[in-house]
Amino acid sequence: MPEMKLDRINLRILEELQKNARITNQDLAERVNLSPSACLSRMRRLEEEGLIGRYLAEVAIDRIASTLKAFVEITLENHRQADFRRFDQAIARQPEVVASYKVSGRFDYLLMVVVPDMNRLRQLSDELIEAEIGIAKFVTVPIIEQTKLFDGYPLREMIAGAGG
Amino acid sequence: MPEMKLDRINLRILEELQKNARITNQDLAERVNLSPSACLSRMRRLEEEGLIGRYLAEVAIDRIASTLKAFVEITLENHRQADFRRFDQAIARQPEVVASYKVSGRFDYLLMVVVPDMNRLRQLSDELIEAEIGIAKFVTVPIIEQTKLFDGYPLREMIAGAGG
DNA sequence: CCTGAAATCCACTATTG
DNA sequence: CAATAGTGGATTTCAGG
């Protein structure tokens, strides 16, 4: 099991960093009632153990260029390991596909794509289908508006709700 | 139009921050060939103009607790403004719903939910349906694996691809 | 909008409890 | 493990072009 016990202080450190990755160590230490040195060593430890992965800045892409975001439901023709691997590798090379999820249900993958407009989305769809990476079906679900922004995982609920 | 022209340097600043929000100003300045003070004032300006929103740390939630992530397709019973608003407000209060997208297609919303297990997801589904917030249909699409991680928007492609 | 210097603040490292 | 204190280095401000 790749799970690790967290004490209350580490939990609060993760909560703070989730919402403000550029907080200074001093401010963070103050918020969690720790000395800066103790806080820093905890933070480093959380990084080393992989509990904190990357630090990302949110860019307001739609203030830079006009943007079409969409989900794309993908069904593959075949479902051997090699088919999934080929698809994943092709997707990794497409910068406009910003995230890819293997799912269970009416289709095999749900992609999130970000493109300038519908023309480019159609073009991307053509490219992927003709790339011979085993796509049987390609269904576009345009995003009208993101009505709730990702604001960190519900850490407390996950810990309280889990058996272990 | 809420779009803003970016010079090459600001573009590179955004690219760097997208991938590493905790880069020091000195390192950032070096990478974009600017003095630290010039780099800092550009960064502050990008923040003030809202081109950089929040800074987020990625927490490895599945190393902390066992985790079920899923998409949920929601269809509403009615489609007046007030119906959407009521739904959005209810969703805002649910920490396990980490993101919500209003979409165009076979359903009205696509949610991303993060819960400890399928039991809690069923419970959440029951709660939402019985909350009388106008949900007509609720379809769960469990995530097996995220095969491409969000790694920033394709800034260059968006700028090159757009007309303006 | 930049550079460069000066001042302030912070990260990081002993050291000690 | 945590606190305290010290130092090197980074951030930030400001004068000047």
Q: Is B8 exposed, middle or buried (0-12, 13-18, 19+ CB in 10 A)?
A: exposed
Mean pLDDT of B115-130: 97
Question: In the prediction, which pLDDT does B104 show?
Answer: 98
Q: Which residue has the tokens 């910068």?
A: A95
Question: In the prediction, which pLDDT does B139 show?
Answer: 98
**Distance between CA atoms of residues A127 and B10, nearest Å:** 31
> A129 CA to chain B: closest CA distance, Å?
19
The answer to whether B20 CB is within 7 Å of strand D is: no
**pLDDT tens-digit readout, B32-79:** 999 999 999 999 999 999 999 999 999 999 999 999 999 999 999 999
- B71 vs A: CB within 8 A: yes
Bases of chain C below 7 A from a protein C-beta are 1-5, 9-14
Contact B51 A63 (CB under 8 A): yes
Beta bridge partners of A101: A110, B146
- B8 vs A: CB within 8 A: no
Contact A154 B98 (CB under 8 A): yes
Query: Domain residues of chain A, as ranges?
Result: 8-57, 61-142
Which chain A residues touch B19 with a CB distance below 8 Å?
A: 54, 56
Which chain B residues touch A142 with a CB distance below 8 Å?
A: 103-105
The answer to whether A9 CB is within 7 Å of strand D is: yes
How would you write the pLDDT of chain A (164 residues) with one tens digit per residue? 567 679 999 999 999 999 999 999 999 999 999 999 999 999 999 999 999 999 999 999 999 999 999 999 999 999 999 999 999 999 999 999 999 999 999 999 999 999 999 999 999 999 999 999 999 999 999 999 999 999 999 999 999 876 54
Amino acid of residue B111? L
**Distance between CA atoms of residues B135 and B73, nearest Å:** 10
Contact B54 A115 (CB under 8 A): no
Instruction: Provide the 3-class DSSP secondary structure of residue A101.
Output: strand
pLDDT band, residue B5 (cuts 50/70/90): confident
- B67 vs A: CB within 8 A: yes
**pLDDT tens-digit readout, B75-110:** 999 999 999 999 999 999 999 999 999 999 999 999
pLDDT band, residue B163 (cuts 50/70/90): low
Angle at A153 between CA A149 and CA A159, to 5 degrees: 155
Compute the mean pLDDT over every residue in chain B, rounded to the nearest whole number. 95
CB A38: neighbour CB atoms within 10 A?
13
- The structural architecture, per CATH, of the domain A61-142 is 2-Layer Sandwich (3.30)
Contacts 24+ apart (CB under 8 A), B120-126: B120/A161, B120/B68, B120/B96, B121/B68, B121/B70, B124/B94, B124/B96, B125/B72
Please say whether the structural domain A8-57 has been given the CATH code 1.10.10.10. yes
- B117 vs A: CB within 8 A: yes
Q: Does the pLDDT value for residue B164 go beyond 50?
A: no
Locate the chain B residue with the closest alpha carbon to A3. B63
Contact A88 B144 (CB under 8 A): no
Alpha carbon separation from A82 to A32, A76, A89 (Å, rounded): 47, 12, 10
Tokens at B135, concatenated = 């949900």
Contacts of B48 (CB under 8 A, 6+ apart): none
Looking at chain B from residue 73 to 92, which residues have their Cβ under 8 Å from any Cβ of chain A?
Answer: 84, 88, 91-92
